[in-house]
Amino acid sequence: QVQLVQSGPEVKKPGASVKVSCKASGYSFTRYGISWVRQAPGQGLEWMGWIAVYNGHTDYAQKFQGRVTMTMDTSTDTVYMELRDLRSDDTAVYYCARLRPYYYHMDVWGEGTMAAVSS
C-alpha cells in the first residue's frame, strides 16, 4: 500500500540542526512531490515547502527560506528535510505528505516526527 514512513523523534539544542527523513513506498516515487508541514503543540498546520521529485525543484515558504533544505534520494525513494539554527518555537511535529503537482493537494501523510528544541 502507499505509505510514507518518517524517521524517529529528535531532541535538539537551540542553534542545532535537525534532519528528518521520509521514505516512500507503494507508488511511483517520481510522479509526485513531497511536501513538509509542521504543527506546533496546540497549533494549526504550517506548510514549510515541497520538492518536486521528478526534477528536484523546490519551493520553500518565505518564513523558512535560508533555514530549510529539502533533498531527495531516488535510489532509496527517500526525501529529507533539514532545518537549521533551531529555536524553541521550532518544537513541533513535522509531517511529510505526498503532493500532487499542479493541484497541490496532499493525499498521503507520514506519521509525523516530533522534534523538540530545548536547552
Partner 1 sequence: QSVLTQPPSVSAAPGQKVTISCSGSSSNIGDNYVSWYQQLPGAVPKLLIYENNDRPSGIPDRFSGSKSGTSATLDIAGLQTGDEADYYCGTWDSSLSAVVFGGGTKLTVL
Question: Which of 51, 58, 44 is CA-nearest to residue 99?
Answer: 51
Cα 33 off chain centre by: 11
DSSP symbol at 75: T
Segment contacting partner 1 by CB under 8 A, of 8-16, 21-29, 38-46, 82-90: 38-46
Task: Tell me if 10 sits within 8 A of 116, measured CB to CB.
Answer: yes
One-letter identity of residue 14: P
> Considering only residues 53-112, where is the footprint of partner 1 by CB under 8 A?
59-62, 95, 97, 99-100, 103-107, 109-112
Which one among 47, 51, 70, 79 touches partner 1, defined by CB under 8 A? 47
Query: Which residue intervals of the chain are DSSP H helices?
Result: none
Task: Based on the shown chain and the rule CB under 8 A, indicate whether residue 11 belongs to the binding site for partner 1.
Answer: no
- Closer to partner 1 by Cβ: residue 75 or 89: 89
Which one among 29, 32, 50, 80 touches partner 1, defined by CB under 8 A? 50
